[in-house]
Amino acid sequence: NEIHQAAKETVALAEARFISQKHEWEFDNAWQEMLNHATTKVTEAEYQKSESGREHQKRATLFNLAEQRVATLESKLKRNIIKARPYFEEKEVCQGQLDAQKMRIDQIQGELSKAKSDYAASLKRLEIISEEIHNQRRNKSGRVSPSPPVGPREPGVGAEINSFCKEESHPLEKAVGDSERKEDGDCDGSAGVTSWDIEREMERADLRSLGSVSMATSSALSDADDLDIDPIEEVSPCSFCQ
């Protein structure tokens, strides 16, 4: 209808303007083409209007048939409709509540996302503050810390004991090692009698020195018993190495 009315107004306006200026204007090909175009548009609009009228009539007929069908079913299934009406009414109420809950869930999810972002930003700020505090403490401790010691480093606690144990155990270990090598040499038949006797003498000398140390310790223990003093445990020269 709107297209048809606009086309008719265009044609009427063109005719009115031409009639008002007919003494000055001539009806040439341009006016003829414009009038033909407007007339074509009017014709197309009338055709669309008629088609729309027929489609509307068709749909109206279908609608009337559907209304008659509904009335027939309503009169036929009246009892069933009454029984099922509470269900559909409750369904409508529940659907409304469900929509409200969905809206509430969407709102809470938005707030949760915002809270998460704020929490992450807070953690980031705390991390920056912690780094600043650590840097301040590190700078402060660097200013207060004393200068490193100058000169060679002294031996630690127990270094003298370890060196003493190594010096005391060296002759005995050497003698035992030499005796083992001597026994291997005897089995192979490559060592002489003179070297074996010298090694035996060295081993006896070490054993005698160890015996004198043990006797001195036992005498000290007997003197402690006479003076009612707690006895001192016998300490071998190499006990510090353990």
Tens of pLDDT, residues 1-11: 676 677 777 77
Rounded to whole angstroms, the Cα distance separating 200 from 204 reads: 6
∠ CA 82-66-47, nearest 5°, is 155
Q: How far is CA 235 from CA 169, 220, 232, in A?
A: 14, 12, 9
161 phi, psi to nearest 5 deg: -65, -45
Rounded to whole angstroms, the Cα distance separating 196 from 179 reads: 8
Indicate whether 119 pLDDT > 90.
yes
Indicate whether 229 pLDDT > 70.
no
Tell me the pLDDT tens digit for each residue of 61-113: 999 999 999 999 989 988 988 999 999 999 999 999 999 999 999 999 999 99
Query: pLDDT-based confidence at 23, cuts 50/70/90?
Result: low
Query: pLDDT-based confidence at 37, cuts 50/70/90?
Result: confident
Indicate whether 36 pLDDT > 70.
yes
Rounded to whole angstroms, the Cα distance separating 60 from 67 reads: 10
Rounded to whole angstroms, the Cα distance separating 186 from 195 reads: 12
Mean pLDDT of 142-155: 52
First-to-last alpha carbon distance for the chain, in angstroms, is 116
Q: How far is CA 174 from CA 167, 208, 216, in A?
A: 11, 16, 25
Minimal CA–CA distance to 170: which of 180, 178, 158, 160?
A: 178
Displacement of CA 242 from its chain's centroid (Å): 51
